């Protein structure tokens, strides 16, 4: 197959769906190529086969602290008369149905409607049928720490039924979900104006190229009511462009994950305004074996004023390390602190090429994991590293 023809498939996804250009190999028979672009559009199976090269459909119920974030948004809403929510890259609908069953269970008096949209026809069919979902889709929350685990177990018993080993959401909840095939990259800017109280767009923006990102984000912002909540994944939160339209709104949850609030005025954000929000330890999280988290956080809390533009946008505890996703000068960097005081640094959306960590004495680069390793990292060194990164990024971002 010629390079040019490969290129045409790549361009199709790049232009129509706003996907990032990928360095991928598609093996197709030369003679079928012309028909292929037509089939990609019209045949869901063909679409899915090639689409997988650009984006994944990964989703599951109650994903990434969804209950903690979502329930706080609802609690903080002033007007709960009729809540309109959009899951705008819904995959098979786990996100939309998670919100629906949480509302049914915790706020039975609230009227709500949820729009679930995507470009993937076969996934939308699963949303329409409210299943089939696998055991893994539904019960994955059990492997993750959450204050709501008992409630989620009750929720699954109450709102799901099982048919031939697959899970389905019941008809009452199914009736609350509107399903629409919608390409965010071609979204008409007049389609939704200040309609939604909440937009969930997690793990979707991630796949878009710069142009698509510029096109889509303002339209999604306009679709939200003022002060409405825009929820993205931690990596996506760190992107500077979002702050032109939204304020960071800290969720007092286990994770420190933010959601964003639609700003009343556009384009007036001063990045330095990002608040230094520290994550409070929650006793229900499993604590790392030898790390005294309280002490850890106290140390970070004591960072001098120079560090005011640092925020933790995500924190997770594993049995042998603590994971922090730090937002420093609007760039995201992942810190993994092991119980033997090894610190591993991984890039979020900042390129490590500009941060010359090798200048530090006891720093090694782990090529397999693409991480910098600092053995025996003391709090003093930890602070020095943060100071170094902050200073460096500030100077180049000026």
Ligand X SMILES: C[S@@+](CC[C@H](N)C(=O)[O-])C[C@H]1O[C@@H](n2cnc3c(N)ncnc32)[C@H](O)[C@@H]1O
Spatial contact of 49 and 39, defined as CB atoms under 8 Å apart: no
163 pairs with which residues across the strands? Answer: 166
- Tokens 């949480």 locate to 102
Tokens (6 digits) for 354: 């500009």
Answer yes or no whether residue 120 interacts with ligand X by CB under 6 A.
yes
Count the neighbouring beta carbons within 10 Å of the beta carbon of residue 36.
Answer: 19
Answer yes or no whether residue 237 interacts with ligand X by CB under 6 A.
no
Q: Which of 8, 22, 33, 57 binds ligand X (CB under 6 A)?
A: 57
Tokens (6 digits) for 58: 């990964």
Q: Which of 50, 112, 167, 207 binds ligand X (CB under 6 A)?
A: 207
Tokens (6 digits) for 104: 């049914």
Answer yes or no whether residue 287 interacts with ligand X by CB under 6 A.
no
Nearest-approach distance from CB 203 to ligand X, in angstroms: 4
Q: Which of 11, 58, 82, 292 binds ligand X (CB under 6 A)?
A: 58
Spatial contact of 71 and 106, defined as CB atoms under 8 Å apart: yes
Answer yes or no whether residue 56 interacts with ligand X by CB under 6 A.
yes
Answer yes or no whether residue 183 interacts with ligand X by CB under 6 A.
yes
Answer yes or no whether residue 59 interacts with ligand X by CB under 6 A.
yes
In the complex with ligand X, which residue's Cβ is closer, 81 or 143? 143
In the complex with ligand X, which residue's Cβ is closer, 233 or 390? 233
Terminal-to-terminal C-alpha distance of the chain: 46
Spatial contact of 317 and 293, defined as CB atoms under 8 Å apart: yes
Answer yes or no whether residue 114 interacts with ligand X by CB under 6 A.
no
312 pairs with which residues across the strands? Answer: 326
Answer yes or no whether residue 255 interacts with ligand X by CB under 6 A.
no
Q: Which of 69, 119, 223, 385 binds ligand X (CB under 6 A)?
A: 119
Answer yes or no whether residue 89 interacts with ligand X by CB under 6 A.
yes
Here's the x/- map for ligand X, 122-151, by CB under 6 A: it reads as -x----------------------------
Answer yes or no whether residue 18 interacts with ligand X by CB under 6 A.
yes
In the complex with ligand X, which residue's Cβ is closer, 218 or 360? 218
Nearest-approach distance from CB 21 to ligand X, in angstroms: 14
Name the pairing type of β-strands 246-250 and 258-262. antiparallel
Spatial contact of 313 and 326, defined as CB atoms under 8 Å apart: yes
Cα–Cα dist 280/203, whole Å: 25
Answer yes or no whether residue 98 interacts with ligand X by CB under 6 A.
no
Q: Which stretch binds ligand X (CB under 6 A): 133-141, 178-186, 305-313, 337-345?
A: 178-186
In the complex with ligand X, which residue's Cβ is closer, 93 or 228? 93
Provide the H-helix boundaries in the chain: 3-17, 33-42, 44-51, 66-76, 94-106, 121-129, 135-139, 149-159, 171-174, 210-223, 234-237, 293-301, 379-397
Here's the x/- map for ligand X, 349-378, by CB under 6 A: it reads as ------------------------------
Q: Which of 17, 141, 148, 213 binds ligand X (CB under 6 A)?
A: 17
In the complex with ligand X, which residue's Cβ is closer, 124 or 343? 124
Q: Which of 362, 365, 366 is nearest to 374 (CA)?
A: 362
Nearest-approach distance from CB 275 to ligand X, in angstroms: 25
Nearest-approach distance from CB 163 to ligand X, in angstroms: 23
Q: Which stretch binds ligand X (CB under 6 A): 118-126, 263-271, 293-301, 313-321?
A: 118-126
Give the single-character DSSP code of 222: H
Spatial contact of 251 and 278, defined as CB atoms under 8 Å apart: no
Cα–Cα dist 327/220, whole Å: 23
HEC per residue, 271-339: HHHCCCCCCCCCCCCCCCCCCCHHHHHHHHHCCCHHHCCEEEEEEEECCCEEEEEEEECCEEEEEEEEC
In the complex with ligand X, which residue's Cβ is closer, 63 or 315? 63
Answer yes or no whether residue 204 interacts with ligand X by CB under 6 A.
yes
Nearest-approach distance from CB 216 to ligand X, in angstroms: 8
Nearby residues of 109 by Cβ (< 8 Å), 6 or more positions away: none
Q: Which residues contact ligand X by CB under 6 A?
A: 17-18, 55-59, 63, 89-91, 94-95, 118-120, 123, 183-185, 202-204, 207
């Amino acid at each position: 197959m010629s390079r040019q023809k490969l290129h045409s498939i790549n361009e199709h996804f790049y232009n129509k769906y706003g996907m990032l250009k990928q360095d991928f190999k598609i093996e197709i028979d030369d003679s079928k190529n012309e028909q292929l672009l037509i089939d990609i559009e019209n045949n869901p199976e063909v679409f899915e086969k090639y689409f997988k090269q650009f984006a994944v459909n990964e989703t599951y119920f109650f994903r990434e602290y969804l209950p903690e974030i979502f329930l706080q948004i609802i609690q903080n809403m002033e007007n709960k008369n009729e809540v309109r929510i959009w899951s705008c890259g819904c995959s098979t609908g786990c996100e939309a149905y998670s919100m629906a069953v949480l509302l049914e269970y915790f706020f039975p008096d609230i009227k709500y409607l949820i729009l679930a949209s995507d470009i993937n026809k076969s996934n939308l069919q699963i949303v329409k049928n409210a299943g089939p979902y696998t055991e893994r889709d539904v019960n994955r929350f059990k492997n993750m720490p959450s204050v709501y685990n008992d409630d989620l177990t009750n929720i699954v018993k109450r709102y799901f039924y099982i048919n031939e080993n697959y899970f389905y959401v019941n008809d009452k909840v199914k009736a609350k979900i509107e399903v629409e095939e919608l390409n965010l990259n071609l979204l008409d800017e007049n389609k939704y104006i200040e309609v939604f109280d909440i937009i969930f767009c997690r793990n979707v923006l991630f796949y878009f190229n710069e142009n698509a990102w510029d096109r889509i984000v303002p339209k999604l912002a306009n679709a939200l009511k003022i002060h409405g909540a825009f929820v993205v994944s931690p990596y996506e939160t760190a992107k500077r462009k979002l702050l032109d339209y939204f304020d960071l709104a800290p969720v007092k949850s286990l994770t420190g994950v933010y959601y964003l609030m639609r700003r009343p005025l556009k384009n007036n954000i001063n990045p330095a305004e990002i608040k230094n929000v520290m994550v409070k330890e929650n006793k229900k999280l499993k604590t790392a074996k030898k790390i005294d988290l309280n002490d850890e956080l106290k140390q970070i809390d004591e960072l001098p004023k120079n560090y005011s533009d640092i925020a933790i946008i995500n924190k997770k505890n594993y049995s042998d390390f603590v994971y922090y996703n730090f937002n420093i000068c609007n760039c995201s960097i992942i810190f993994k602190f092991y119980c033997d005081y090894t610190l591993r640094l991984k890039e979020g959306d900042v390129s490590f090429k500009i941060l010359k960590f090798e200048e530090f004495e006891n720093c090694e680069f782990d090529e397999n994991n693409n991480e910098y390793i600092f053995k025996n990292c003391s709090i003093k060194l930890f602070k020095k590293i943060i100071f170094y990164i902050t200073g460096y990024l500030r100077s180049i971002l000026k």
